[in-house]
Chains A and B, each alone.
Chain A
């Protein structure tokens, strides 16, 4: 399998260790489906950039992953705030580690948090959404 998919899968596996946590899905895009039960976590690939060139045909590839938390907001503005922030913190603590099970040659990682609560733009505004991106720099040997 590709390194990118291995990273996505490793993140999914790690998030599935959350006790009584929401279901985690790996998807091509950060998108929720009508059949999703809420809350849900979606892990999706963002960008794949050659971030570093070194001697001896080695390159550092930056894989950026989008992790998105979704819950039913339904214009309830107080009672579920604590649970939501707790889930977000748990996800952040699980992912803010340089090591990723099954992925070797990770030499760096960076995690960027997006706003804690984002409402979907438009009339369909009953979802609470929060995201973060994690970028892993993985060493790879060039062919020539």
Chain B
């Protein structure tokens, strides 16, 4: 069964043919769409959006608003009495296909969540809730004769908190006022988190 997401627009189409395999217009055409306990019945030509593209061919563009298992039935009567049924799954959002894994229940998994402020390259800022700080690495680097320390800190940020990916070099500020510059942004395998590597500002340390 196909899978779509809330917000997608899916084109439902049907072709009515008689026993001689010729395209024929039925006397009436209805489209029933069911998801959960809700059923909507559309009738051509009375219902908005029901379209006859050519003899025997009808279509309807359906914008998905509710997650669940969706089924639909095209029905023709009169000249061509026939039914055509189909269906697909509708998931809640592209960013969280796994409904059990969400900010609402993440405290069951993590207990070190923080609130960060993201300052983007254009200067706009955004508060990000429930960010996970991963263990930091202290690193020593060299420039000429100088040795300098610094920390690389990794974060997991829910995409639902931050729908637009943070830019490289954007700034994260933690609750202590320490700043981190973003080096790398990766979307997690299940598409629900930004996995971010950052470098602490000079002198921030651990």
Task: Give chain A's interface residues, CB within 8 Å of chain B.
Answer: 29-32, 34, 36-38, 42, 44, 46, 66, 68, 70-75, 114-115, 118-127, 129, 131
Contact = CB atoms under 8 A, between A and B. Distances in A.
Contacts of B183: 123
A122 B203 CA distance: 16
Given A34-B205, A38-B202, A72-B201, A123 B141 contact: yes
A30 B141 contact: no
16 contacts: A32-B147, A32-B148, A34-B206, A68-B145, A68-B146, A115-B144, A118-B143, A118-B146, A120-B143, A120-B150, A123-B139, A124-B141, A124-B149, A124-B152, A126-B181, A126-B200
B179 interface: yes
B145 A127 contact: no
A72 B148 CA distance: 11
A127 B202 CA distance: 6
Contacts of B143: 118-121, 127, 129
B206 to A, nearest CB: 8
B140 interface: yes
A129 B146 CA distance: 8
B48 to A, nearest CB: 53
B199 interface: yes
A47 to B, nearest CB: 11
A141 to B, nearest CB: 31
Nearest to B145: A30
A68 B141 contact: no
Interface string B61-97: 0000000000000000000000000000000000000
Contacts of B111: none
B147 A29 contact: yes
Given A72-B201, A126-B181, A127-B150, A120 B142 contact: yes
Q: How large is the interface on B (under 10, 10 to 19, 20 to 34, 35 or more residues)?
A: 20 to 34
B145 A66 contact: yes
A36 B146 CA distance: 14
A112 B11 CA distance: 73
Which of the listed residues B137, B149, B183 has the most CB atoms from chain A within 10 Å of its own CB? B149
A44 B144 CA distance: 13
A134 B148 CA distance: 22
Given A74-B201, A74-B202, A121 B142 contact: yes
Q: Shortest 3 CB-CB distances between A and B: which pairs? A: A124-B150, A122-B141, A72-B202
B144 A125 contact: no
A120 B201 contact: no
B169 interface: yes
A86 to B, nearest CB: 19
A62 B125 CA distance: 54
A131 B145 CA distance: 8
B150 A123 contact: yes
B145 A46 contact: yes
Interface in B128-185: 137, 139-152, 169, 179, 181, 183
